[in-house]
Amino acid sequence: MRMIALSPFLLALAPVALPGDTGAPTVADVLTPELLNALQRVSDLTLSPDGRWLLYTVRTTDIAANRSEAAVHLLDTESIDSGSRVVAKGSSPTWLPDSKHFAVVTKEGLTVHALDSAFVLPVAVEKGVSNLHWSPKGDAFSYTQSVKLDDTAADVYADLPESKARVYDDLMVRHWDAWSEGEYSHLFVRPFHTTAQDAEGVASLDLLGEERVHTPLPPFGGGEQMAWSPDGRELCYTARRVPDPETSTNSSLWLVPAAGGEHRDITPGMPGYDQDPVYSPDGKYIAFSSMARAGFEADRARLMLYERANGKIAELLPNFDASPHNVSWTADSQRLFFTVDTQGTTQLFTTTVAAPKATPVTTGRHAISGIQVAPNGRTVYALQTSMERAAEVVAIDVATGRIGMLTDVNGAIFAKLQMPEIDGERFEATDGESILAWIVKPPGFDPNKKYPFILYCQGGPQSMVGQGFSYRWNFHLMAAKGYVIAGVNRRGLPGFGQAWNDEISKDWGGQAMADLLTVADAMQARPYIDKARSAAVGASFGGYTVYWLMGNSGDRFACMISHCGVFNLESMYLATEELFFVNWDLGGPYWTSQETLDRYARFSPHRYVDNWKSPLLVIHGEKDFRVPYDQGLQAFTAAQIKGVPSRLLMFPEEGHWVLKPQNGIVWQREFFGWLDRWCGESDAR
């Protein structure tokens, strides 16, 4: 197998010089919001069972139409130079066991395609199919689909069709960006026939029947939360069967016969998230992810092995102070591969079952995801991302860790761009600990110039500042606009040991804020930073951080931007949906003890509004139910009453994120408009 070249993500650690460059970037050769949204997005990587063929989805955004469309591409790993070809419209491709057919999810349902012909078989299932998996023999497939089990007000009062009322008797009436409409995501099994005639009259079996339970776990769970046994007789899936799901992370792994029958919990007595089952090819084990502490969504994810013969469960890497994700077996069932967030990067690791030890395969400033292990275990295919470049398909040589690039879907755009400079630097915290921050400098950086500065405040709160390529909070784009950025891995982020990760809980306004200010002060003291043109920006917990800094950072910042931030801890507690999150991180309802009440008072940004002076841009989505939009309205109202220059950007159709293409462009224009107004070189400030 021939690879295109050594991964440019590693080469991009140094600034790129274009022919004829004078060192000063121009509008034509730096990233812009329009170019950012023109980038194609690669996802859904899947390897054929025989190891020869790769399928992946390329999504293209149509700004004018305000939508995106996906196409499935095919790549022959034995003939990389021949390039890929589009083989279907749709997404979420999956291989049949024969490696000669694959299925694609479309807006109409499912289609099955043949590699060597124009054969296309529409599979008669209703719309809304997701998380497709084929049985080992290819004679059946499983999928998930929403099933309506509860009557809504519209059903009860059918004679009043113009009423938009909602009626509930329990919590979890909303989740992230959607109201409950009485639907549950269920797991189905359906026999498969290769001709439309044979398939006629075949029905799907809902393995969950009338049960009011979801699989996968909404809203982020996907196909990784269910799997077929190698003999095709049973499925293992993830579900949370608890009376009050809004207060619990207690999901379990359940076994159910493929033909239907009793559902058996194989992780009883394990109170945290248990999920992502992966059968070993020999059928001996089920590997899965498990968090030990109940109610803590950011606990260390342990790699567990369930021994099917006797039901014993053991942690494979008990002394590994990190969280394995994306676990995959080799064909001989002797080795596992997985990804790990570590020191602001995401690397490929491996271990054997016989001699468990987490061994890194890759190094470098990148993020590895979507791993697909070749049958011989010597190559792992994956998606590789960095702060400079969106995801591309790569091949990783396990013996050497060498990464070869297999696709370059955005190469024509990036070939014309000057790249930012990115360095990982360490700063000494107020308690003597070491803080890693990614320092991003503009293309053509000149140390003798003075640049405006952005302190980026991460959300989560437990979410590493790693090598992601965001289409909103894009460091490459910020640098292309002429800013120096510090992305700070403050206290409370994964990738630096579980103790570091834990330090944010019940201390939102404490050491994490001190870490951010430590880096801000150090950066503002550098000769190439114009302290008077400094800004603090962030979303979610990062938005909370901005509100906190508004009242607790003195005159460090010329302006602030908060997206979907928490402003008032007391009102946030009673308006959010997954209460286990605030119960763990804030200590429960504010009225339960004087200690808890004092914590809310000490760490709630709304208590410090009297100190507000910095101009503030508030951004929020009206469909954000995790941090309800009234948090943004409260902050904007406070700023207006205080006479602080402020602006409100509200998206009626967006939730916690901005997903619609044209809204994304508006977001970028308002974001940089605000920054440039207060941190630019114009006298208009």
Rounded to whole angstroms, the Cα distance separating 641 from 622 reads 22
- The residue to which tokens 């320092």 are assigned: 439
**pLDDT confidence of residue 120:** 85
**pLDDT confidence of residue 5:** 38
Active-site residue identified among 540, 562, 614, 646: 540
Whether 1 has a pLDDT exceeding 70, the answer reads no
State which H helix or E strand residue 572 sits in: helix 569-575
**pLDDT confidence of residue 17:** 30
Q: What is the largest CA-CA distance in the chain?
A: 75
| pLDDT per residue as tens digits for the range 513-565 | 999 999 999 999 999 999 999 999 999 999 999 999 999 999 999 999 999 99
* 420-567+615-679 CATH, one of 3.40.50.300, 1.10.3720.10, 3.40.50.1820, 3.20.20.70: 3.40.50.1820
Number of Cβ within a 10 Å radius of residue 441: 19
Q: Average pLDDT, stretch 672-680?
A: 97
Rounded to whole angstroms, the Cα distance separating 681 from 685 reads 8
**pLDDT confidence of residue 232:** 98
Q: How far is CA 52 from CA 381, 560, 620, 652, in A?
A: 11, 51, 46, 46
Does residue 624 carry a catalytic annotation?
A: yes
**pLDDT confidence of residue 682:** 54
State which H helix or E strand residue 413 sits in: helix 411-414
Active-site residue identified among 113, 263, 563, 656: 656
Say if residue 216 is preceded by a cis peptide, omega within 30 of 0.
Answer: yes
**pLDDT confidence of residue 28:** 52
| pLDDT per residue as tens digits for the range 495-519 | 999 999 999 999 999 999 999 999 9
Query: Phi and psi at residue 203, in whole multiples of 5°?
Result: -115, 155
Work out the mean pLDDT of the chain and round it to a whole number: 93
Does residue 133 carry a catalytic annotation?
A: no
SS3 522: helix
**pLDDT confidence of residue 83:** 86
Considering the chain, what percentage of its residues have pLDDT values greater than 90? 89
Q: How many residues does the chain have?
A: 685
**Amino acid at site 256:** V
Whether 61 has a pLDDT exceeding 80, the answer reads yes
Axis crossing angle, helix 594-603 with helix 579-586, rounded to the nearest 10: 90
Q: Average pLDDT, stretch 426-441?
A: 98
Q: Which residues contact 40 (CB under 8 A, 6 or more apart)?
A: 58, 59, 60, 390, 409, 410
| pLDDT per residue as tens digits for the range 69-126 | 999 999 999 998 888 899 999 999 999 999 999 999 988 888 999 998 878 888 877 7
- The residue to which tokens 């342990």 are assigned: 302
Active-site residue identified among 44, 502, 624, 676: 624
Query: Phi and psi at residue 520, in whole multiples of 5°?
Result: -60, -45
Does residue 299 carry a catalytic annotation?
A: no
Whether 13 has a pLDDT exceeding 50, the answer reads no
Show the beta-strand stretches assigned E in 294-430: 302-307, 313-315, 324-329, 335-342, 345-352, 359-360, 367-373, 379-385, 392-397, 403-405, 421-428
Rounded to whole angstroms, the Cα distance separating 404 from 393 reads 9
